[in-house]
Amino acid sequence: MSSTTREVVLGIGAGIAAYKSCDVLRRLQERGYCVTVVPTPSSLNFVGSATWEALSGRPVKTQVWQNVDEVPHISMADNTDFFLIAPATADLIARIAHGRADDLLSALILASDVPKLIVPAMHPKMWNNAATVDNVATLRARGFIVMEPDTGRLTGSDSGQGRFPETSAIIESFDAITGNLQDLKGKRLLITGGGTREPIDPVRFIGNSSSGKQARALALAALRRGATVHLIAAHMDTSGLGDVSITPVQTALEMGDVLNKEFAACDVLIMCAAVADARPVQQSTGKIKKSNLTSIQLQENPDLLAGLGTLKKDQIMIGFAAETSDLVESARSKLLAKGLDIIYVNDVSNGAIFGKDSTQGMILTRTHSDIALKEVSKDALANILLDHAVRQLG
Ligand code: CTP
């Protein structure tokens, strides 16, 4: 990491959109980033080294064979805080996904574990090709943020999804990963996470497999974007959450009490916790002998979200669901029944997702078409959901 934490490598792939990255470079510099441009050798067919050197004010190299005594790919990688790869062609995405290191840019990416934003631009047939779809999924699962290309007119006469996004959208996404995006400043976010435990006796409980990793990712992303964050945490790791204020709870009823107190003052509620649907009618004060543990009588817990939905004023409410079948139908009916604005439904068939760093599923909103997400990191999903919340907050 550099001493300023603002050192950026702007990687340029061999697409015609390379010329649009001249503007991206300018905007990054205006925002105070120190930018080194690293083009792939073939991208120089579109924009030459002289242009990049003049605009960046820094030397431009494309291969690891220059200044070999300095081992440039390792020293540069160590000195870089963020990568922005724009445009990224199908070939460059494939090379990164496969861990190739056949030019300076791919070697740097392989030698560095700092946040990386990839901005694809290519023909829709290449973007939608199964090979590219899989490569993008691989990168997202490894924590790369891959923007969706825009839809519209392409270099030729045809159109579709594959256009290089607008500079402003690229800068906004980049600011989100660098922590410069403050679009939630002044907003209060209430987030629940983990899984409630409903005690049977002093040693046993009814619980679930929620790890709280998604709630952690949401709390940290919201904090970075300037929000005041209150996390109601049920049996999850709450270490290292900085300025997030944390209320630990055990049961669904305790979580409900804290929510009822805090909900009115929040701007966005994200109900990420797995709330137990039922609790034992009686909680034994002493440990129950196994010979007496033949059946447990249960009573339903209140639906916390549905209850808050009736109190909702201007708040944006985001719910989660975990389903194994009929994902969209089940999630849509929960969205409506619980008065939500947005719901993310995890596809948890085959035990996937719980405790993992990545997820796959669908985002459903009241006004927009459904978005399918194949293998995204929980960090990336957190920012995608916050983008939706920001849009709905207006
Ligand atoms: N939820 C809640 N209170 C409950 C149960 C769930 O607030 N008692 C919230 C969860 O935090 C989640 C959303 O409702 O954001 C959907 O949870 P889910 O368990 O998928 O739905 P349920 O309504 O419990 O329906 P079912 O378990 O029958 O699928």
Q: 214 and 361: one domain? A: yes
Q: Does the residue 2 lie in any domain?
A: no
Q: 215 and 319: one domain? A: yes
Q: 261 and 368: one domain? A: yes
User: 141 CB contacts (<8 Å, ≥6 apart)?
Assistant: 358, 375, 376, 377
Distance from the alpha carbon of residue 178 to the mean position of ligand 1, in angstroms? 34
User: Which residue type occupies 182?
Assistant: Q
Q: Does the residue 42 lie in any domain?
A: yes
Give the per-residue pLDDT at 3.
Answer: 44
Q: 245 and 370: one domain? A: yes
Q: 142 and 196: one domain? A: no
- Residues with a CB atom less than 6 Å from ligand 1: 252, 271, 273, 275, 277, 301, 303-305, 319-322, 334, 338
Q: 49 and 135: one domain? A: yes
Distance from the alpha carbon of residue 304 to the mean position of ligand 1, in angstroms? 8
Catalytic amino acids? 208
Q: 266 and 370: one domain? A: yes
Distance from the alpha carbon of residue 320 to the mean position of ligand 1, in angstroms? 8
Q: Does the residue 214 lie in any domain?
A: yes
Q: Does the residue 1 lie in any domain?
A: no
Q: 83 and 213: one domain? A: no
Give the per-residue pLDDT at 19.
Answer: 98
Distance from the alpha carbon of residue 313 to the mean position of ligand 1, in angstroms? 21
CATH classification at residue 20: 3.40.50.1950
Give the per-residue pLDDT at 352.
Answer: 63
Report d(CA 257, CA 238) in Å as an integer: 20
Give the per-residue pLDDT at 356.
Answer: 78
Last residue of one domain, picked from the residues 145, 178, 211: 178
Give the per-residue pLDDT at 39.
Answer: 98
Beta bridge partners of 361: 346, 373
pTM across the whole model: 0.72
Q: How many domains does the chain have?
A: 2
- Of 277, 333, 340, 347, the one to substitute when testing ligand 1's pocket (max ligand atoms within 8 A of C-beta) is 277
List phi, psi (to 5°) of 135. -65, -40
Give the per-residue pLDDT at 289.
Answer: 95
Per DSSP bridges, beta strands 342-347 and 358-365 are: antiparallel
Q: 237 and 350: one domain? A: yes
CATH classification at residue 365: 3.40.50.10300
Q: 219 and 343: one domain? A: yes
Full residue range of the structural domain in which residue 51 is found: 7-178
Q: 376 and 249: one domain? A: yes
Q: Which atom of ligand 1 is nearest to the CA of 321?
A: 20
Stretches where the chain sits below pLDDT 50 are: 2-4
Q: 247 and 104: one domain? A: no
Residues 28-75 pLDDT 10s: 988 888 899 999 999 999 999 999 999 999 999 999 988 888 787 898
